[in-house]
Amino acid sequence: MALLRRSARQQPTPIDGIDCLYLDLDGVVYKGPDAIPHAVESIRSLDARAVYLTNNASRTDAEVAGHLASFGLELTAEDVVTSPQAAMRLLASHLEPGDPVLVVGGAGIVVEVEARGWRVVRTAAERPRAVVQGFHPSVGWQELAEAAFALQAPSADGGIPWIATNGDWTIPVAGGIAPGNGTLVSAVHTAVGRLAEFAGKPERHMYDVATERFAAASPAMVGDRLDTDILGARRAGIRSIMVLTGVDRGASLIGADETMRPDHVIEDLRGLAEPIAPLRETFERSTGDTYFEVGTAAVRRSGIDITLVRAGARPVDTIRAACAAVWTADRAVLGLRISDELLAL
């Protein structure tokens, strides 16, 4: 992986050779109503095309584009790929024009359903041919109950398709962390005993929508969550870049399962165009210890012990050195003793 790249005469950047950059939104471009420091100017300076991927189904692509444009970014609604759009891709093989679709959610889903010539309904009594469920703050017990009524029969017994826009268990809001769409989907699942098919990250459908829409030959994904952005990129077979401005931080990365390990880690979006600091790995024969250094950061692996020798001038360098020490070990992370200093990153 590039994250573990050894020194070279000419150091590449994380986006060398990329023609299309997929960016998650919350935690990458903005937090709430405000742009994350350095994000806007970094995106504006890109040579690659910027495309925005969001699991949040509550807003339309045009609404998302308007929010981003308020920061000074130049884009249209076409540059936004939403989880409802990925859900429509999954529904297409099941429906005919004019078919009724029971929508649990808001305008982000409604607009996409109607754009494809299907009819939005809100009750099981209207005999929907499919159910699409996505997060919206207004979703309550009645909407969940109607979905459950429509989904009583499993698909094997002639039941209708059930597509969930995404499975995020939580969603960050002004007051803190709140239940996300995955939590609401789980409530319906508990009632009907069947599973939804998920459209958003970490499933690859959103990446496929973006790649087809922009004919991307060499895309990369930038995200702040290992279990959605990075895992999804790995499943889609594209380059993954973790940015430390959102949900997952150093400890999450150090202990990440192999399926969620990114190709690159950057401190903020300025790192997209900065040379990748080389990793130096040194084995000390007298002790059997291995040292991993990035910049001024140094981490030692001695048997099963992973310890901080020297913190780097930049936290991201220390994190990368620690990841290298853990990820190249001869055993899983649960078999290692990682120092509290590193787990506090």
Active-site residue list: 24, 26
CA 116 – CA 95 distance, rounded (Å): 10
User: Which residue type is seen at 61?
Assistant: D
CA 318 – CA 262 distance, rounded (Å): 16
User: Which residue type is seen at 12?
Assistant: P
CA 131 – CA 323 distance, rounded (Å): 42
How many CA within 13 A on the CB side of residue 55? 28
Q: Residue 280 has which token pair?
A: 């130096």
CA 60 – CA 78 distance, rounded (Å): 11
Give the DSSP H or E segment for 242.
strand 239-243
21 touches 49 (CB < 8 A): yes
Q: Residue 205 has which token pair?
A: 């459908």
From first CA to last CA, the distance across the chain in angstroms is 22
CB atoms within 10 A of CB 341: 13
User: Which residue type is seen at 92?
Assistant: A
